[in-house]
């Protein structure tokens, strides 16, 4: 996991001019409003693998037709990879230590999400060779999860390289805030990554899809019920989770659990947010009005979500000659030599593993 990120400075004048020219929320307009890190580009694979994005989208359409829940798993996987978006969360543990996957916040990532990423990698490498990184595939899969669940379509800057190291469990836990944190703690945590209050509220809108285990929110039910929580909502949650440790799941957004929309913010305004970290965004003075703005204006939420995801998706990325392009998203190439040797193709140079 790299430690530094370097944004290309954008003058506010440029941003204002561009925004005025972007009346429609097209992919093109989205792309111009956010600075991108040196080494990433909106057209990175245009020559080396122009099919990469269409392969991801086509395959995910099929996956989600069978189970739309996988969209939430993939969106969360990208978030947990970021704060070093280098594919390190995808690595299995090795002789040099346990993987990021073993860190407590990652234990509830869906196993199927890891399989889907590796399957996408295999499809892309089959078409283009070993040129597209696992971290880029995870970023594209997150975008398509949003779009195919009803959310905005937006471009993703590409060119990330895959990391050679994985974060320690302590670093992972420190980077991923707890659902029991209040808004001020969440804001402070994301501020260290140069994500502001609007970014934080927009990113939390990722909870418009997907599931949570009881253990992530029963602190609000037992031993005493959080007085902020809506009574009927609390009663229904207690039925799903009769004890703090019940092994069951419930939806994050009761109004439209599988749809990427702005109803999560409507939930918060009705005191039906699942986690303290969600609900407190509506109590805290610095974030309350942003919640209201997003609850009444879905287009605004979508725009700010794109901006925040694009910022988050570039945190501590590896580019250029840093890192590597993994032949298998779960294993560093150095741990995978025997496997790679068996799949060197006829010209003896390009490797592709399926
Ligand atoms: C701001 C701090 C955040 C906290 C404290 C947090 C916490 C959590 C927790 C505790 C769960 C449920 C885990 C479980 O019990 O199974 C969860 C699920 C989820 N989170 Fe977050 N999260 C945060 C930010 C984000 C961001 C930025 C995104 C994406 C943009 C995101 C997307 C998701 C999704 C989609 C799920 C559902 C996953 C599934 O159904 O498999 N979260 N989050």
Classify the C-alpha dihedral 55-61-67-68 as positive or negative: positive
Mean pLDDT across 186-212: 97
pLDDT digits 0-9 by tens, 8-63: 333 333 333 334 345 445 565 666 668 899 999 999 999 999 999 999 999 999 99
Distance 42 CA to ligand 1 centre (A): 27
Helical H segments across 250-284, by residue range: 263-269, 276-283
Which atom of ligand 1 lies nearest, measured to the CA of 110? 41
The whole-number pLDDT of residue 307 equals 95
Q: Nearest C-alpha to atom 5 of ligand 1 is from which residue?
A: 179
DSSP state letters, 233-263 = HHHHHHHH-SSTT---EEES-SS-TTS-SSH
Do the beta carbons of residue 209 and residue 260 sit within 8 Å? Answer: yes
Query: Which 3 state secondary structure label does DSSP give 68?
Result: coil
Question: CB of 75 closer than 6 A to ligand 1?
Answer: yes
Q: Does pLDDT of 3 surpass 50?
A: no
DSSP 9: P
Q: Indicate the pTM of the whole model.
A: 0.89
Q: Distance between CA 135 and CA 325 in Å, rounded?
A: 9
Mean pLDDT across 241-249: 97
The whole-number pLDDT of residue 323 equals 97
Q: Which candidate, 324, 265, 248, 262, places its Cα nearest to that of 299?
A: 262
The length of the chain in residues reads 354
Distance 70 CA to ligand 1 centre (A): 13
pLDDT digits 0-9 by tens, 292-345: 999 999 999 999 999 999 999 999 999 999 999 999 999 999 887 655 554 544
pLDDT digits 0-9 by tens, 76-91: 999 999 978 999 999 9
The whole-number pLDDT of residue 13 equals 30
Distance 110 CA to ligand 1 centre (A): 11
- Reported as a pLDDT band with limits 50, 70 and 90, residue 200 is very high
Q: Which candidate, 150, 153, 154, places its Cα nearest to that of 261?
A: 150
Number of H helices, E strands in the chain: 15, 2
Do the beta carbons of residue 245 and residue 214 sit within 8 Å? Answer: yes
The whole-number pLDDT of residue 250 equals 98
Question: CB of 266 closer than 6 A to ligand 1?
Answer: no
Question: CB of 314 closer than 6 A to ligand 1?
Answer: no
Q: Distance between CA 142 and CA 24 in Å, rounded?
A: 23
Question: CB of 277 closer than 6 A to ligand 1?
Answer: yes
Which atom of ligand 1 lies nearest, measured to the CA of 145? 35
Which residues are part of a known binding site for substrate?
Answer: 177
Which are the catalytic amino acids?
A: 80
Question: CB of 76 closer than 6 A to ligand 1?
Answer: yes
The whole-number pLDDT of residue 34 equals 83
Mean pLDDT of the chain: 87
């Amino acid at each position: 996991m790299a430690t530094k990120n370097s944004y290309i400075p954008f003058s506010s004048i440029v941003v204002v001019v561009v925004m005025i020219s972007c009346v429609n929320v097209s992919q093109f307009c989205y792309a111009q409003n956010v600075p991108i890190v040196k080494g990433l580009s909106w057209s990175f694979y245009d020559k080396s693998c122009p099919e990469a994005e269409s392969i991801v989208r086509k395959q995910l359409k099929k996956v989600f037709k069978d189970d739309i829940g996988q969209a939430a798993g993939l969106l969360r996987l990208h978030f947990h990879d970021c704060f070093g978006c280098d594919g390190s969360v995808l690595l299995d543990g090795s002789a040099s230590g346990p993987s990021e996957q073993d860190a407590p916040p990652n234990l509830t990532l869906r196993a199927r999400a890891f399989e889907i990423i590796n399957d996408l990698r295999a499809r892309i490498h089959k078409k283009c060779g070993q040129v597209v990184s696992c971290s880029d595939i995870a970023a594209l899969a997150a975008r398509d999860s949003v779009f195919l669940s009803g959310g905005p379509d937006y471009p993703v800057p590409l060119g990330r390289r895959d990391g050679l190291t994985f974060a320690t469990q302590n670093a992972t836990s420190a980077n991923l805030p707890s659902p029991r944190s209040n808004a001020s703690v969440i804001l402070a945590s994301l501020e260290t990554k140069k994500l502001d209050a609007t970014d934080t509220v927009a990113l939390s809108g990722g909870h418009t899809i997907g599931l949570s285990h009881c253990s992530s929110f029963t602190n609000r039910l037992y031993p005493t019920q959080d007085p902020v929580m809506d009574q009927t909502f609390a009663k229904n949650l207690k039925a799903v989770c009769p004890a703090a440790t019940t092994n069951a799941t419930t939806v994050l957004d009761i109004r439209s659990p599988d749809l990427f929309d702005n109803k999560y913010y409507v939930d918060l305004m009705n005191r039906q947010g699942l986690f303290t970290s969600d609900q407190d965004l509506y109590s805290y003075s610095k974030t309350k009005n942003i919640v209201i703005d997003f609850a009444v204006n879905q287009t605004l939420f979508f725009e700010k979500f794109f901006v925040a995801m694009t910022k988050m998706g570039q945190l501590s990325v590896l580019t250029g000659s840093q890192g590597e392009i993994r032949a298998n998203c779960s294993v560093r190439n150095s741990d995978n030599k025997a496997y790679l040797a068996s799949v060197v193709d006829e010209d003896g140079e390009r490797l592709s593993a399926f």
